[in-house]
Amino acid sequence: MRAMRRATDPRRPYVTGERLRLLAVHAHPDDESSKGAATTARYAAEGVDVLVATCTGGERGDVLNPSYPPVPDPDRMHEIRREEMAAAAKALGVQQEWLGFVDSGLPEGDPLPPLPEGCFALQPLEVAARPLVELVRRFRPHVITTYDPTGGYPHPDHIMCHRVSAEAFAAAGDPERYRDAGEPWTPLKLYYNHGFSMARIRAAHEALVERGLESPFGEWVESRAAREIPEREVTTRIECAEFFAARDDALRAHATQIDPDGFFFAMPRDLEREVWPFEEYELAESRVPVRLPEDDLFAGLRSADPTSAR
Ligand SMILES: [Zn+2]
């Protein structure tokens, strides 16, 4: 994916002459396609090294696509999801690695059942974070993206994904921590993905209603407002409509999980490009000076950038 890099491009992917690297940490295979996918596709196309780290194998995911044929052998699920993940990574033009943990499943019921033994969310933090610390020290990302402390939605693996990412961001550069996990490396910025901010849902809902189309977002607007879920800050918007097609291909690659006629495809694509041509992030931590709002995850890190620390 180096073809699009041009020496004259002021946004060239370098930090002090080095190729930029982005690490996107996700809980399950398919999360990389539903959160920030077009952003990763865009950066990969621009010549940034983009790596998706997937904490778990998604083994406990049910088949969520009603048009998918029944999986006769539940043990096949692990394999199927690996194949789906490979196809999604290819669609986005990114690299991908597994961190090797077992999906915790989404506990349901009242009272909630206990989490299954040995699953990702039950690991002590240092055990859960170690493979990611090793990966950060090997891949040496300048920027890491993950979920906010609530997980974005309350799946135990998403919350754990946040915790291991924050831990790796804090500890990977510290030679005293995780001593046998590789040469220390200090990532510079940590972001949280915003999947569906209230502003995005509202904009989509209004655009659909205005055109006399059916909106699946109306109830969501009301229930979110009723539950008074505090909105997280959006600091960074990445223009990436050009890569929505790649995102859609990646979503469809997760055929067991994503219904091609379902929620993720509810918005007509021409309308989406018009109303919401970006993906949103919250800058959680930065080790370089920044000016908010931003339109680039690498703002402040590019050698030709006037906001650069150097
Ligand atoms: Zn997930």
Residues 275-297: tens digit of each pLDDT = 999 999 999 999 999 999 999 99
**CA–centroid distance, residue 58 to ligand 1 (Å):** 8
Q: Is 162 annotated as a binding residue?
A: no
**Is the separation of the CB atoms in 192 and 147 below 8 Å?**
yes
**CA–centroid distance, residue 80 to ligand 1 (Å):** 16
Could you give the C-alpha distances from 215 to 127, 156, 163, 184, in angstroms and in order? 43, 29, 34, 49
Q: Taking residues 100-108, report their average pLDDT.
A: 93
Whether 40 has a pLDDT exceeding 90, the answer reads yes
**CA–centroid distance, residue 187 to ligand 1 (Å):** 24
Domain 19-197+232-286 part of CATH 1.10.357.10: no
Candidate from 27-41, 269-283, 295-309 with smallest mean pLDDT: 295-309
Whether 200 has a pLDDT exceeding 90, the answer reads no
In the chain, where are the structural domains located? 19-197+232-286, 198-231
Mean pLDDT of the chain: 89
**CA–centroid distance, residue 231 to ligand 1 (Å):** 20
Query: 271: number of CA atoms within 13 Å, CB side?
Result: 17
**Is the separation of the CB atoms in 26 and 20 below 8 Å?**
no
**CA–centroid distance, residue 145 to ligand 1 (Å):** 15
Candidate from 115-119, 189-193, 201-205 with smallest mean pLDDT: 201-205
Q: Taking residues 208-232, report their average pLDDT.
A: 80
Q: Residue 111 CB: number of other CB atoms within 10 A?
A: 6
Give the tokens for residue 134.
Answer: 């090793």
Q: Is 28 annotated as a binding residue?
A: yes
Report the candidate in 115, 116, 103, 87 with the shortest Cα–Cα distance to residue 54: 103
Report the candidate in 105, 102, 22 with the shortest Cα–Cα distance to residue 54: 102
Structure confidence at residue 308 (pLDDT): 43
Structure confidence at residue 2 (pLDDT): 32
Whether 88 has a pLDDT exceeding 80, the answer reads yes
Whether 307 has a pLDDT exceeding 60, the answer reads no
Structure confidence at residue 12 (pLDDT): 42
Structure confidence at residue 263 (pLDDT): 80
**CA–centroid distance, residue 61 to ligand 1 (Å):** 9
What phi-psi label fits residue 84: left (phi over 0), alpha (psi between -120 and 50 degrees) or beta? alpha
**CA–centroid distance, residue 158 to ligand 1 (Å):** 6
Query: What is the per-residue pLDDT across 65-76, written as a single tens digit (0 to 9) for each?
Result: 888 888 777 778
**Is the separation of the CB atoms in 88 and 254 below 8 Å?**
yes
Candidate from 46-50, 168-172, 178-182, 299-303 with smallest mean pLDDT: 299-303
**CA–centroid distance, residue 177 to ligand 1 (Å):** 28
Whether 232 has a pLDDT exceeding 60, the answer reads yes
